[in-house]
Amino acid sequence: MLDKLRTHLAHADALPTLAVLGLCSGLLAGGVIVLFRILIDSLQMSFLPGGDVENYEGLSAFWRFSLPALGGLFIGLLFQLAGGAQVGVIHVLERLAYFQGHLPLRNMLLQFVGAAMSIVSGHSVGREGPSVHLGAACGSLLGQGLQLPNNSIQILLACGAAAAIAASFNTPIAGVIFAMEVILMEYTIAGFAPVILAAVTATAVSRAAFGAAPAFIVPPMDMVSLLELPYMLVMGIAIGALAAVFIGQLQRVTLFGTHFPIWQRMTLAGIFVGLCGLFVPAVMGIGYDTVNAAMLGELGLGFLLLVMVFKVLATTVGLGLGLPGGLIGPTLVIGACAGGALGIAAEYLFPGQVASPGFYAMLGMGAMMSATLQAPLAALMALLELTYNPHIILPGMLVVVVSDIIASHVFGRDSVFLTLLRARGLDYRSNPVAQALRRVGVASVMDTSLATTTRTLSHSAAESLLIDEPLHVLVLEDRQPVSLLLAADLARHLTARPDQAEVDLLEIPAQRDDIRPIGMQATLQQALDEMDEHKVDALYVIRGGDIIGTLSRQSVEAHYRQP
């Protein structure tokens, strides 16, 4: 029954089964994210003044410096002992691109503990990036446990990532679009349905635990006039430039950090964040209290600019030197401060003719997220769901697209995740052919019309081999497959040489292909890579220790050339 399920899921159109699995992965991911958040909140409430999870400003100067520094040292030693295991969204993208979405349990556990400690010790990181890793690992481990084909595991990974964003922010639509824009980098019907179910399920789990209130509670706000749109265009340009600076700074610090052992660079990151916390305590922690205050118009121009600059520094140094945490939360804080500051400037330049600074702070959040992640639709949906303000859509569409264009095309920046992936010497193939081949497992394309035999056999044995009319003959030498030939060529030779007592299948006139093994779980992309790497044109598919079929280069190429 499981074998039938696995073969069925190797096809690109196994939608109902994938939908059920997506729902299961959403349930798992939602539960893990709730536990992750409860752990962080309970630890923060145990020592922060007033039990406020954001009140790092209430700590003494000694603890504002010591807490991040000691946290960086402890996390660095932990990761050093773990052998430098990778975590975060970059790790998810790497495993998706190079390991078919197989995420290790060990890295997931390290992410859970390390990110919780990083956030609790006041570093300028978010919980959404770690949540994406945790959620994606839930989906991946579910698929690995069931030994599903890799094309299905990749979809379940995206389901877990969507579930994580949905459960963390209480934003199911943004979670779905994030998974498609940032993780899979494509939109498909087969991917959408299970990802949506995963996001819905995880959001339901999160709301059962924490309620349905949006992340930021602000009064309804709107533009005063359409004449504000040109100023918002300028705002999109400014924040796009800010995002390009942020990505570039993060890339430089990441490359700089490669020259130091893990524990040294994380300790250095903790000391730097501690110094920032001494001068500007608001940069410590996730910073959603600052975002809320900016959207309520409670912060002045000087304070907003100060927090923006120090948040950029603390985040790029902390994350660039390897602290386990997310960057989505900090980009929202940076964007809210930049947008709020531009809103105050607009009030000064056009008194009584523009919306409140809080409205511009909202727009700044979406613009910064869009330009940094290169995910405008995800940013727009997150903006809508985080604020429950439909008036944000029209101006939000303008600023997120403009900021995205400025960062990507004027400054030539890729998304922050792809930039950091390339800083590790890696890349993410997202061309249409690779995407199409990743969606299909070899089990759905392989040819099972196969006969297996030794290199030499008698004339009568060769005739018996062809009784079931196989398409191919797999030749074994020393019990190992060495060549694949067309059964029709063997039949032609037997007819031409009826008097030959012994037939050597590697010597008769025939079309033969060298052959390599590949697992049943593999995708067509893996199969093509295996053929290219070993310069062969055929593979034999194995399940356990059994050979169950063959796959030729022609059949792979015929699949992606189908109309």
For the residues of 356-418, what is the DSSP string, one character each?
A: -HHHHHHHHHHHHHHHHHT-HHHHHHHHHHHHT-GGGHHHHHHHHHHHHHIIIIIS----HHH
Q: Which region among 40-44, 344-348, 478-482 has the lowest average model confidence (pLDDT)?
A: 478-482
For residues 369 and 261, give the distance between their C-alpha atoms in angstroms, rounded to a whole number: 31
pTM of the model: 0.88
For residues 497 and 511, give the distance between their C-alpha atoms in angstroms, rounded to a whole number: 17
The reply to whether 442-560 shares the fold of 226-423 is no
For residues 338 and 242, give the distance between their C-alpha atoms in angstroms, rounded to a whole number: 9
For residues 470 and 498, give the distance between their C-alpha atoms in angstroms, rounded to a whole number: 20
Residue 413 — φ and ψ, nearest 5°?
-95, 135
> pLDDT band for position 506 (50/70/90)?
confident
Tokens standing for 427? 């890349």
Choose among 275, 280, 279, 278: nearest CA to 318: 275
> What kind of fold does domain 442-560 have according to CATH?
CBS-domain (3.10.580)
457 by DSSP, 3-state: which? strand
Q: Cβ distance 346 to 215 under 8 Å?
A: no
Domain ranges of the chain: 2-214, 226-423, 442-560
**Domain 2-214: top CATH class:** mainly alpha
Bridge pairing between strands 472-477 and 480-486 = antiparallel
Q: Which pLDDT score, from 0 to 100, does residue 112 have?
A: 96
> pLDDT band for position 72 (50/70/90)?
very high
- Mean pLDDT for 502-514 is 84
Bridge pairing between strands 512-519 and 538-543 = parallel
Superfamily of domain 226-423: Clc chloride channel (1.10.3080.10)
For residues 379 and 46, give the distance between their C-alpha atoms in angstroms, rounded to a whole number: 33
Beta-bridge partner residues of 126: 326
Q: Is 147 exposed, middle or buried (0-12, 13-18, 19+ CB in 10 A)?
A: middle
Beta-bridge partner residues of 454: 476
* Model confidence pLDDT, tens digit, residues 434-487: 777 777 888 888 888 888 888 888 888 888 888 888 888 888 888 888 888 888
The position carrying tokens 């975002």 is: 291
Q: Which region among 55-69, 193-207, 439-453 has the lowest average model confidence (pLDDT)?
A: 439-453
